[in-house]
Amino acid sequence: MAGLHLPSALDLARSQFAFVVIWHFLYPAFTIGLASFLAVLEALWLSTKKTLFLDTFQYWLRIFAVVFAMGVVSGLVMSYQFGTNWSVFSDKVGPVIGPFLGYEVLTAFFLEAGFLGVMLFGLKRVGPKLHFMATCLVAVGTLVSTFWILAANSWMQTPDGFGRTADGRFFPTSWVKALFNPSFPYRYAHTVVAAYLTTALVVGAVGAFHLLKDKTNPRARLMFSMAMWMAVVIGPLQIVLGDLHGVNSYHYQPTKVAAMEGQFDTEQGASALMFGWPDAKAGETRLALGVPKLASLYLTHNANAVVEGLKAYPRSTWPTNIPLVFFAFRIMVGLGVLIVLLGVTGLVLRWRGRLYDSRLFQRFAVAMGPAGFLAVTAGWIVTEAGRQPFTVYGLLRTADSVGPVAAPAVAASLVAFVVVYVVVFGSGMAFTAHLFGQTPGPHDPGPPADEPIRTAGITPAAPLSGAPQQTQAPKTQGQETRS
């Protein structure tokens, strides 16, 4: 065993959290936008009565059902992760951020779960108007859910409105300050727009994929067109929001931003690095290739301003994996630029009347399908790995947050999570890909769930006794009266 370095319970707990949270967020990143997209499609159907919108709605509803289910069960895991591996953190921080998670369940989780059933199975039962309301409630639920989760996350980044007991536990002093902590508005806007973009890119890729097979398919044209509008409108908006978020981070989390920039020395007119290899040991970024003064410009909006480097802070407060933060940031920004390029090209083609004709552009859109997932994942890595070595920035160290569970237990559960996620969610995702491949046709039946229950149409709880089966079934007393 000599020389074999076994990972500590802390490392394993971090890996486990990173694994389950990254995997989990893939689902909300897609369903937050998809729920809103579905609400818009249903609104268009209700106001125009064109079946084109209903068919497209049904096509995406089928996908939504599968993805949402995976989001729910992977989210269930998250609500226990804080306790299983990070129990000391929970004990110390629960009094401040615990209620945010509690409110998430009360305001959003129940709403989504309750009305999802109506959304998936209820069109024939409740009629279009109530069904539309259910769709809207699910869509609002996803946004409210994001609100609370990001409030909790932002508090860990830029804590406010709290006091501390002698033994280091946090307690609330102002809920308004804790909830609307300094980074929250930026993070919320940036994340919601990221989710919308992720959905737009998937919808656009699926639309493009089917246009490549048949450019006259009206449903494929509709989804492609709507997605390209989204890309051109909110793609650039996201760059602006990202910049504002960065300025905010620079103010409140300077070590994170310095790691993102690969900036070790404090510099006037700091350059933005296009490439480099940050070497924390040596305290410098090797092979640096940058644009002079650009970092100063976007961090302070003044090209000649001084930008603090990591060396301005004690080494013990530097993020533990600086190259990870540095490269994840570049991947996120690079993808952001590609997304804007996609949106702008789409706009130009549309203007020239060639949006549905350019096969090259459609292939580009297909290739960009996963870009949103990659970008949000990279973004989360930037913000979470950049927060290290703290769980509550500057106040509570990650090493002091981990629970008392033995390393073999954490390792065993990590392996179990990886295996189960790959097998179960892997087949779920393979199935989702199969659904993407199905051509969106007219009279889409929607989820198999929505097959007509009976011809009685939209009457709530329509008569069941007329159904052909089981006519000889003994009628029992106390059977419900049916309308």
Partner 1 sequence: MSLALPLIWAVLIAVAVFAYVVLDGFDLGVGILFPAVHGRHERDVMVNSVAPVWDGNETWLVLGGGGLFAVFPLAYAILLPALYMPLTIMLLALIFRGVAFEMRFRARHDREQRRWDRSFMGGSYVAAFSQGIALGAFVQGIRVSGRAYAGGWWDWLTPFSLMTGLALVAGYGLLGACWLIWKTEGELQDRFRHLAARLAWATLAFIGAVSLAMLFLSAPFRARWLVLPRAAGAALAPLVLLALAWLLFAALKQRRDLAPFLYALGVFLLTYIGLGVSLWPMMVPPGVAIAAAAAPPATQAFLLWGASVLIPIILIYTGYVYWLFRGKVQVGVGRH
Q: 407-446: which residues touch partner 1 (CB under 8 A)?
A: 408-409, 413, 416-417, 420-421, 424-425, 427-428, 431
Site for partner 1 (CB under 8 A): which residue of 80, 240, 286, 337? Answer: 80
Per the listing, tokens 């493009």 go with: 208
Site for partner 1 (CB under 8 A): which residue of 31, 58, 90, 249? Answer: 90
CB-wise, 298 or 436, nearer to partner 1?
436
> Taking the mean position of all CA atoms in its chain, how far away is CA 235?
16
Strands 272-279 and 267-268: unpaired
Residues 6+ apart with CB under 8 A from 145: 28, 104, 107, 108, 109, 112
Structure tokens at 64: 């939504």
Contact 137, 111 (CB under 8 A): yes
- Applying the rule CB under 8 A, the residues between 182 and 221 that interact with partner 1 are none
Q: Minimum Å distance from CB 93 to partner 1?
A: 8
Contact 78, 24 (CB under 8 A): yes
Question: What's at 334, amino acid-wise?
Answer: G
Q: Does 331 bind partner 1 (CB under 8 A)?
A: no
Q: Minimum Å distance from CB 54 to partner 1?
A: 19
Q: Does 69 bind partner 1 (CB under 8 A)?
A: yes
Question: DSSP character for 448?
Answer: G
Q: Minimum Å distance from CB 237 to partner 1?
A: 32
Q: Does 95 bind partner 1 (CB under 8 A)?
A: yes
Contact 322, 221 (CB under 8 A): no
Contact 366, 212 (CB under 8 A): yes
Q: Does 291 bind partner 1 (CB under 8 A)?
A: no
First-to-final CA distance of the chain: 74
Q: Does 123 bind partner 1 (CB under 8 A)?
A: no
**CA–CA gap between residue 264 and residue 140 (Å, rounded):** 43
Per the listing, tokens 């109506």 go with: 118
CB-wise, 94 or 236, nearer to partner 1?
94
Residues in the chain: 483
Q: Minimum Å distance from CB 229 to partner 1?
A: 30
Q: Minimum Å distance from CB 374 to partner 1?
A: 23
**CA–CA gap between residue 182 and residue 334 (Å, rounded):** 26
Site for partner 1 (CB under 8 A): which residue of 15, 18, 51, 121? Answer: 121
Contact 204, 365 (CB under 8 A): yes
- Applying the rule CB under 8 A, the residues between 443 and 472 that interact with partner 1 are 448-449, 451, 453-454, 460-461, 464, 467, 469-470, 472
CB-wise, 169 or 251, nearer to partner 1?
169
Binding piece for partner 1, criterion CB under 8 A, among 74-82, 139-147, 200-208, 242-250: 74-82
Q: Minimum Å distance from CB 31 to partner 1?
A: 13
* Residue 445 phi, psi (nearest 5): -75, -5
Q: Does 350 bind partner 1 (CB under 8 A)?
A: no
Site for partner 1 (CB under 8 A): which residue of 27, 29, 34, 75? Answer: 75
Binding piece for partner 1, criterion CB under 8 A, among 118-126, 224-232, 240-248, 315-323: 118-126
Task: Tell me the β-bridge partners of 267.
Answer: 307
Q: List Cα–Cα distances, 212 to 64, 356, 364, 430, in angstroms.
A: 23, 9, 11, 21
Binding piece for partner 1, criterion CB under 8 A, among 96-104, 202-210, 284-292, 293-301: 96-104
- Applying the rule CB under 8 A, the residues between 22 and 61 that interact with partner 1 are none
Contact 295, 307 (CB under 8 A): yes
Q: Minimum Å distance from CB 167 to partner 1?
A: 8
Binding piece for partner 1, criterion CB under 8 A, among 77-85, 236-244, 260-268, 299-307: 77-85
